[in-house]
Structure 1
Amino acid sequence: MLNKFREAKQLEIESLRKDFVEGRIPAVYSGNRPSFVDAIKAKGPGAIIAEFKPASPSKGILRENINPMDFAEDYANNGAAAISVLTEHKYFSGTPDFLFMMSNPGIPLLRKDFIFDPLQVAMTASSPASAVLLIARMCDDVDHLKQLIDIARMPGLAPVVEVFDQADLDMAREAGADIIQVNNRNLDTLEISLDQGRHFIKQKQDDELWICASGVSERAQVEEMASLGFDAILIGTSLMEAENPGEKLAELTGAK
Structure 2
Amino acid sequence: MTILDKIIEHKIKEVATRKEYLPISKLEQRPLFDIAPLSAKAWVTSPNRSGIIAEFKRKSPSKGLINGNVKVSDVTSAYVEAGASAISVLTDEEFFGGSVDDLLASRGVHRAPLLRKDFVVDEYQLIEAKSIGADLVLLIAACLEPKKLKELAMTAKNLGLEVLMEVHNEDELKGHLNEHLDLVGVNNRNLKTFEVSVETSKRLSSLIPNEFLKISESGISDPSTIRELKDFGFDGFLIGENFMKTEDPGKACKEFIEAI
| Partner SS state of residue 246, structure 1 | helix
Match of 1:58 in 2: 62
Question: Equivalences for 1:161-240 in 2 at 5 Å?
Answer: 161-174=165-178, 176-240=180-244
CA offsets per residue over residues 160-219 of structure 1, 9 Å max, x none?
A: 100011121112214643410100011111100111011011223221101100100111
CA distance in 2, matches of 1:249, 1:2: 29
Question: In structure 2, do the counterparts of structure 1 residues 252 and 93 end up closer, same or farther at CA, with 3 Å as the change threshold?
Answer: same
Indicate the RMSD between aligned Cα atoms, in angstroms.
2.0
CA distance in 2, matches of 1:151, 1:166: 25
Report which structure shows greater RCO (CA 8 Å, sep ≥6).
Answer: 1
> How far is the alpha carbon of 1:43 from its aligned partner?
4.3
% identical equivalent positions: 33
Letter in 2 for 1:111: R
Letter in 2 for 1:252: F
Match of 2:134 in 1: 129
CA distance in 1, matches of 2:169, 2:54: 24
> How far is the alpha carbon of 1:31 from its aligned partner?
3.0
> How far is the alpha carbon of 1:60 from its aligned partner?
1.0
Question: Equivalences for 1:60-209 in 2 at 5 Å?
Answer: 60-103=64-107, 104-139=109-144, 141-174=145-178, 176-209=180-213
| Partner SS state of residue 84, structure 1 | strand
Contact 1:185 1:191 in 2 (8 A): yes
Match of 1:7 in 2: 9
Question: In structure 2, do the counterparts of structure 1 residues 205 and 51 end up closer, same or farther at CA, with 3 Å as the change threshold?
Answer: same
Match of 2:53 in 1: 49
CA distance in 1, matches of 2:131, 2:24: 15
> How far is the alpha carbon of 1:11 from its aligned partner?
3.0
> How far is the alpha carbon of 1:148 from its aligned partner?
0.3
Output the TM-score relative to the length of structure 1: 0.92
- Following TM superposition, the consecutive aligned residue runs of length 4 or more in structure 1 with deviations greater than 6 angstroms are none
Output the TM-score relative to the length of structure 2: 0.91
Match of 2:27 in 1: 26
Unaligned 5+ segments in structure 1 are none
Contact 2:36 2:160 in 1 (8 A): no
Letter in 2 for 1:130: D
Question: In structure 2, do the counterparts of structure 1 residues 255 and 32 end up closer, same or farther at CA, with 3 Å as the change threshold?
Answer: farther
Unaligned 5+ segments in structure 2 are none
Contact 1:222 1:252 in 2 (8 A): no
Contact 2:52 2:236 in 1 (8 A): yes
CA distance in 1, matches of 2:180, 2:156: 12
Contact 2:86 2:115 in 1 (8 A): yes
> How far is the alpha carbon of 1:137 from its aligned partner?
2.0
